[in-house]
Amino acid sequence: MRLVLLGPPGAGKGTQAAAVRDLYGVPHISTGDMLRSAIAAGTPVGLKAKVIVDAGNLVPDDIMAEMVRERITAPDARPGYLLDGYPRNVTQATTLEAILLVLGQKLDHVVHLSLDDAEIVKRLSGRRTCASCGTPCHVTAAPPRVAGRCDNCGGTLVQREDDREEIIGRRLEVYRERTAPVVEFYRQLGLLREVDASGPVAEVRQRLEAALGQGAHGTKP
């Protein structure tokens, strides 16, 4: 199963990715997480990306294409994968189609999580992210069991630099201008599944599973 998860910042892509990973047993490939790891490790890509990511802008397409091509050809991605955060503009969507053609692969579905701006700001400003494994939680909507500690791995929870209020506005602008047209791109290809991302995590998960043609508990194809 090869899936793309689209949606504005804070729509819940990272949160819902866990559900998809459980359903299909495929790796969650988040370009945002990959960039944050590169930044933390101080790699050449990370050094170049830091200023761009912190300002809420997009990292150059050629860097992203190479990163994604390499990751989706790794052995654990052979049975499929869930791409989260890529493609982020129409050029990246076209590039992905070209990469898939060379690999003899096709996407099965593209899921679009939609959410209004007011809810996005609430979710992003209250988000805390694990510095070790990247798992997100929320100070009020999904608080950690132990304050300041990740439920998944016990790592330290931090606020992302780009979750500051002034940067959230810029990310929304970039989404509207650059990423929203990608939704139309996949609609034209007949791959798009729309999912309303408002409401509690479990409700969104149910809608997502229904959109992917899964039962309440999911069945692996």
Position 64 contacts ligand AP5 (CB under 6 A): yes
CA dist 154 and 137 (Å) reads 12
- Is 160 noted as a catalytic residue in this protein? yes
Nearest to 161 by CA among 13, 53, 39, 40: 53
Position 200 contacts ligand AP5 (CB under 6 A): yes
Nearest to 96 by CA among 189, 22, 160: 189
Restricted to residues 123-182, the positions that interact with ligand AP5 (CB under 6 A) are 123, 126-127, 136-138, 141-142, 162, 171
Starting from the edge strand earliest in sequence, which strands make up the sheet with 2-6, in order? 28-30, 81-84, 2-6, 109-114, 192-196
Query: By three-state DSSP, how is residue 149 classified?
Result: strand
User: For ligand AP5, which stretch binds (CB under 6 A), given 20-28, 69-77, 144-152, 197-205?
Assistant: 197-205
Position 7 contacts ligand AP5 (CB under 6 A): yes
3-state DSSP: the chain helix, strand, coil percent, rounded to 5?
Answer: 50, 15, 35
Shortest CB 7 distance to ligand AP5, Å = 6
Q: How many residues bind ligand AP5 (CB under 6 A)?
A: 35
- Is 2 noted as a catalytic residue in this protein? no
Q: Which parts of this chain interact with ligand AP5 (CB under 6 A)?
A: 7, 9-15, 31-32, 35, 52-53, 56-59, 64, 85-86, 88, 92, 123, 126-127, 136-138, 141-142, 162, 171, 200-201, 204
